[in-house]
Every structure is written in C-alpha cells, then in structure tokens.
Structure 1
Amino acid sequence: MKELDFDTTWQNILSDIKERSKVPSFRTWFEKSSLENIKGELAEINLSSAFAISYVQSHFEDVMKEVLSEHVGSPIKKITYSESKKQKKSKQVIDPDQPSLIDLADRQKVPVVEQVKTNSSSTLYDRYVFDTFIVGNSNRLAHAAAQAVSRSIGSAYNPLYIYGGVGLGKTHLMQAVGHEVLRQDPDKKILYVSCEVFLNEFITAIQAGSADRFKKKYRNVDVFLVDDIQFIAGKESTQEEFFHTYNALHQTNKQIIITSDKPPQEIPQLEDRLASRFAAGMIADIQPPDLEMREAILQRKCIEQGKEINPKLIRLIAERVDSNIRELEGALLTVMTDLEVNNQELNHDNIQQALNRLVQTKRKSDRPSVGLIRDIVCEFYRINHEEIISARRNKELVFPRQIFMFLLKTELSMSFPNIGKEVGGRDHTTVMYGVDKIFKELKKNIDLRDEVKEIKSRFYSV
C-alpha cells in the first residue's frame, strides 16, 4: 500500500461519510477529528471527546469502515479511537458579573463568534450561528434557504419567511444569517428586531414627532430581520408603516427575513398587500424535531456544558420530551439540576424519576410565575425587589440575583435574553455566567443544595 497523506485522505473520507450518512449535525461529531494511522486492517481515529467517540461508534462506524476501505485500497475491519488532549486554559481575571465572550465560549465549548461591527440597534446573540444549529428532517429546507440567503443577500429568496411553533429555532436560524453576512463583510448593516419592538418604536416616533429618525433607522440597512411578525395583525397604522419600510428595502435589493408562528395567509387581520409580499419570496416551515434530531440536540448541549452522558440516557430524555427544542434543552437542564441537588448518580432509574417529577411539575396548574419566584428568593435572602434588579454588585445582592436567574432558567425554561430583562435589563452573557456559576456551585456545596431545595419547595407549596 502506498504511503498516505493522512490529513488530505481524512478530509476526503469525511466528505464521503457525510454524503452517505443521514445523521443530524454531522459536523458536531467530527469537529477536530483526524486519521492517526493505518495498520493493516486497523484504522486509528482521533476524536474530540469520549462522548463523541461513543456517538460515532454507534452511528457512523459501519459507513466509516466502508469509506476507509475504499480510500485506503484494502479492507478496514477494525477502528480504534483516541480522545484529543484538552488544552490548558490560561488564567484570566474575570469580572464576576460580566464575563467576556471568549471566556464564555471557552467554558461552554461553543464556537466563538468574532465581535464585528453591527448597526447599533442590532442584537445578534453570539450563540445563534450556523455551527450551533442542529439540522434534521424537520428544518432542513429552512436551513438550506437561510444558508443560500447568507451567500447572496437581496437576490436569493427575498423575502425569506420562516414559520413554525415556539422554541423550534426560527430566531436562531434568522440570526445565523446575520452573523454569516457580517463574517463575510463586517461593514454590512444588520438590524434585528422583534415585531413588538418595531411597533413600540413606531408609536414612540409618532408621539415624539421623530418619524424621520425612525425611517432612517429602519430603511438604511442591508439585512432586516423581523421576529414574530404575527403581532402586527390588526394594527393598521403599524402595518401601513411596515408596508412602506418593506417596499423601500425590497426595491433596493436589501435582504428581508421574517419569522412567524404561521404562514402569512393564516395571520388574522393581516392586510392582503402584506400577505402577498411575504409570500412572494421563499416560505419555509420548521416542524418539531424527530427522535433522532432530539438526541442530537441533547448531545450537542451536553458537549457545550462539558458533560458526558451515556447515549442511552440521552435517548431516555429525548423520548419523553417531544414538543420543541426550548423545552427539550430546559428538560435536560432541569433533570441535571435535580440530580445535582439531590446528589444522585446519572443512571437510568434516577433520570426516569427526575423526568417523572418534571412531568408532574408541568402538570400543576399553579406553575410558579416569574413574580412568585422573585418574591420567594427576595424573602429567603432578605432583600427587596429593587435590590435584586439593581445595578449594585455587592456580594449579598449578586448571589441572590444569580439564584433568581438560575431558577428562571431551570424552572421556567426561559431564554437568557428574557431572563436578563427580568433582572434589570442585564446582558444575556451576564445571565449565562450567573446560571453557570450556580450550576457548578451546586456540585460541591451541600448547603447551597439545601437552600435551593427549600426555595423550590416554597414556591411549589404556595
């Protein structure tokens, strides 16, 4: 057998494996992988983690042997795996209430998005990039359309209209386009807003006599991303302004991407002229994920959090939670927290019991509200409402604030940006850091586990 260039051969092999396999998010499992050696009928493969090894063995090994044999020119009957050595992290001084993007990405093992220039009104969340979007049968069309748009803004699918239920990844996909456009050209102006923000700013502009400033902001962009357009229904003046904004952008070949919970023709009290324009481009729907995709989502989440869980236990959670991605990720976090708080091992019986408790909690009609959780946390730590959302950062306030954030995430499955709004308008990265800090502290602090159990018992007994 002739001497192989392992790097080139491995890239060709990966390309063929990806083409032949139908496993969601192929890139997740082979990121930073390499072909280390070929010895007769044995191939040695290096993967990023023990978790990736477990998944690749169960989902890819047969096709890998087939493709390896073709490229090597002789039968490969056995594959051995090794795990990449983790790089040592340099020590850094971290602001306790405001970690840097690099620190967060390193701790959570998610792709780092370069900080690029954006329109000052644009809010693109760092994690919402194509690399972290899990692709499956339920969202493949929308994903392909979004990628096509990112490569050719203003000409491919304009507008792009993505619809689907809550928590299925519409905002993620929309913002991924914005990030990719900025990666290609940092000078592009991207504007992301929810329909509610557009509505409120329009009303404010009319009341303040600043309509010109409003028009300049919304019509002087290269990519306009509008979330939850269904909330414009029935609001005649706002629809009128949106119609003119849409026309101004579309006529100059600026890209428009819109999300909604339903197709344009089904939005009640939406003007026909808007519905027809929304339908004139590409309409793509996102459906709830199937079992295989739910497993891939949970496995990716575990990798981000630096946790290794047996794929059989991942499947157990994926089989029980089949609604949407947000609830799926929330269920994983809740189950993990439940086991940590109760100091239980990660095994089938304990996960099953934690899932049963989660289902029972969701069935309760008196599920805690944001206000109830805030009230009980404030009462427990003897602080008032103003203090928990204030800008003050002394220890006696920061810690209860982080507990509040943690409970909003684990009990209500709220997004990091929405939690930030409830805690004095804090940035989502601050919330991510606070939740992560409490989660880690629960592993080693028995007293904190007891505190969290006591707080939870209070708002579930009200």
Structure 2
Amino acid sequence: NPLFIYGGVGLGKTHLMQAVGHYIHATRPNLRIQNITTEAFVSDVVTSTKENRLFDFSNQFRNTDLLMVDDIQYLENKERTQDIFFQAFNHLHEAQKQIIVTCDRLPKDIPTLTERLKSRLGNGLITDINPPDFETRLAILQKKLEDDKFHLSESVLDYIASTIKTNIRDLEGALNRIEFQASYNGEEITIEFVQKIIHDIAPAQPAGPASPDAIISAVSRHYNIPVEDIKGRCRKKEIVRARHVSMFLIREMTGMTFALVGGLFGKDHSSVITSCDKIEMELERDASLRRDLDSIRARVLQS
C-alpha cells in the first residue's frame, strides 16, 4: 500500500484499476470507494480554493476505504495540489486504508514531484504493465474477432499483430477500422487492403537513415536531460545512462561505426563498444529500458 501501476498509454492501467474497484465493490459492498482522475482532482482543488471550501474538499477523502487515483503524473508542476494530495494520502495510509495509483512512469521519473511524495508512492508495491508481445497481440485480435463474429485469414492476423506493437487501444482501433471498411466496401481483406487501412497508425518507416542529432535530441526530450550534458563528460548516473542509450541507438539506427559514434561524444571506439554492450545486456532483463527505447525510436521516426 499503495499499489502503484505504471506503463505506457493504452496498455490497460485504468482498466485494471477499475476492475479492482468493481471486484471490491462486489465482494465487500460496505466499503467506501472513491475513483478520481488526477485532472479532476486538480480541477476540484482550484475550484475549492476559489470558493473558499478547501477544507471540505480535503475532508471528503478522510472517510474513504479505497482511493483510486488515475494518471498521477498530472500532479507535475502543481505544488499546492501535491500538498493536499499528500495530506489525504497520509491520512488514509495511517488509517490503513488502501490506495491505488496509476501513472505513465515511475515516481522517481516525475521531475517536479516533491521528494516526500515520490518516497510515499515508491514505498508500496510498484508494478509495470508492458506492451503485449506478439503472441498476446495475436490472442487479443482473435478474441475480439470472436466477439465481433468476424473472420480474418491467419496471414492478415499475423500482419496486424506484427505491425501494431504500441498498445492494445491501437490494436483494437486498427481491427475496428478494418472491419468497418471491409463491411462497407465489400472488399476481400488482404494484407494490401489492410496496409491501406492502417497506414496512419502503423509505425512509420523512415525515408532514410535517422540522423545522430535527431536521435540525441529524442533521448534528451525523453529523459529531460540537456543535449550538452549527454554529449559532455558529466558522470551522473542518469546522464551516463542517457549517453549510453544515445550511442546504442545511433549504432542501431544509422549503422555508423563505433569510431564515428565515439567522435560525437569525445570517446574512443572501445568506450562505445562497452556502452552498447551494457545497454544490450540490460535490455534482456529491464522492461522499463525496453519501453524507453521503443518510445525514443518512435520519437525519432516521427521527427
């Protein structure tokens, strides 16, 4: 307590949290449950402050047995609201009431979240939801087709599952679009037909090799670290990690030699080899890093 669920957009964080709420309501109907989005919480704080009823607003959370808060990352840069949430959180936690929070990243990765709130959110059970692998994507498509009483060939299903890798929302959206267009036009559903229908949500293919500058810039935006620091000599852990990721992706996406990559960072080729090997090994066991790289690649391809 708290249960902290994090992951990318459209992977089912809200769905899972609400399922917990429904289950508890069904099995323990006497418990008082509150489900609120962080955006609604922020809006209510602003309104309550204007109307001079902030005390009443804060009090409404004190009699809750289960508090579910969606998209906690929207507390970023809102110090006053963070204070009020922290007070409510503390009261419920000390009263041994359950708190469930969803977020698109780890607490430590929300830059302007107060340290005490990061500590509180990170003190419970942190669990991540990963993008579905190929087999899971295929199973989701098959289940939806079964529910919709619709048929697609195995090759078309494989193509969709191997093309839409982002999240479940995009996967189901693609299938809805294909079903509609096929029913409306009466066309045979081939891979070529599907390519036309989902071209705007399928991952874009770069027209040419990505530039090193575009990759470093994407890493900079993703980790919120200045480009100068990534290319500099600072040895802070988070900056070194961003530098290694940049080297790895430049090698992967441009095919530049280790020596040329090293030249961008003032390093020799052996340092780049070591950095790339380190990222390669971490990718095998770190789901969070895999998501980071997928997100950065997408940024580069969209730029």
TM-score bracket, normalised by the shorter chain, equals 0.5 to 0.7
Question: In 1, Cα distance between the equivalents of 2:33 and 2:161?
Answer: 35
Q: 1:248 aligns with which of 88, 91, 112?
A: 91
Q: 2:65 aligns with which of 212, 217, 222?
A: 222
Show the 5 A alignment for 1:224-303.
Answer: 224-303=67-146
Whether 1:321 and 2:164 are equivalent positions in the alignment is: yes
Question: In 2, Cα distance between the equivalents of 1:220 and 1:249?
Answer: 8
More displaced, 189-198 or 351-360? 351-360
The letter for the 1-side match of 2:68 is: L
8 Å CA contact 2:141, 2:175 repeated in 1: yes
The letter for the 2-side match of 1:303 is: E
Question: In 2, Cα distance between the equivalents of 1:335 and 1:248?
Answer: 50
The letter for the 1-side match of 2:147 is: E
Larger helix proportion of the pair: 2
Whether 1:195 and 2:38 are equivalent positions in the alignment is: yes
Corresponding residue SS for 1:224? strand
CA gap of 1:338–1:362, structure 2 versus 1, over 3 A, is farther
Give the superposition deviation at 1:331: 0.8
Give the superposition deviation at 1:212: 3.3
Q: 2:173 aligns with which of 308, 325, 330?
A: 330
Quote the RMSD (CA, aligned, Å).
Answer: 2.2
Give the superposition deviation at 1:180: 0.8
8 Å CA contact 1:228, 1:258 repeated in 2: yes
More displaced, 306-315 or 281-290? 306-315
Question: In 1, Cα distance between the equivalents of 2:169 and 2:201?
Answer: 15
Q: 2:22 aligns with which of 179, 182, 186?
A: 179
Give the superposition deviation at 1:304: 2.8
8 Å CA contact 2:5, 2:103 repeated in 1: yes
8 Å CA contact 2:3, 2:126 repeated in 1: yes
Show the 5 A alignment for 1:61-72.
Answer: none
Whether 1:344 and 2:190 are equivalent positions in the alignment is: no
CA gap of 1:214–1:339, structure 2 versus 1, over 3 A, is same
TM-score by length of 2: 0.63
Question: In 1, Cα distance between the equivalents of 2:24 and 2:69?
Answer: 16
Give the superposition deviation at 1:269: 0.6
Corresponding residue SS for 1:187? coil
**Which has the higher relative contact order, 1 or 2, with Cα contacts under 8 A spaced 6 or more apart?**
2
Question: In 1, Cα distance between the equivalents of 2:117 and 2:144?
Answer: 38
Name the larger-Rg structure.
1
Match of 2:147 in 1: 304
The letter for the 1-side match of 2:189 is: L
Corresponding residue SS for 1:219? coil
Aligned residues: 206
The letter for the 1-side match of 2:150 is: K
8 Å CA contact 1:339, 1:354 repeated in 2: no
8 Å CA contact 2:58, 2:84 repeated in 1: no
Give the superposition deviation at 1:215: 2.1
Give the superposition deviation at 1:231: 0.9
Give the superposition deviation at 1:320: 1.2
CA gap of 1:353–1:269, structure 2 versus 1, over 3 A, is closer
The letter for the 2-side match of 1:344 is: E
Cα displacement string for residues 406-455 of structure 1 (whole angstroms, at most 9, x for unaligned residues):
xxxxxxxxxxxxxxxxxxxxxxxxxxxxxxxxxxxxxxxxxxxxxxxxxx
Give the superposition deviation at 1:324: 1.0
Cα displacement string for residues 318-338 of structure 1 (whole angstroms, at most 9, x for unaligned residues):
111111111111111112222
**Structure 2 residue ranges without an equivalent (≥5):** 207-303
Corresponding residue SS for 2:92? helix
Show the 5 A alignment for 1:132-151.
Answer: none
Cα displacement string for residues 270-295 of structure 1 (whole angstroms, at most 9, x for unaligned residues):
10000000010011111211101111
Question: In 2, Cα distance between the equivalents of 1:289 and 1:329?
Answer: 13
Give the superposition deviation at 1:311: 3.9
Whether 1:204 and 2:47 are equivalent positions in the alignment is: yes
Question: In 2, Cα distance between the equivalents of 1:192 and 1:362?
Answer: 40
Corresponding residue SS for 2:136? helix
Give the superposition deviation at 1:341: 2.4
Match of 1:435 in 2: none
Give the superposition deviation at 1:356: 4.1
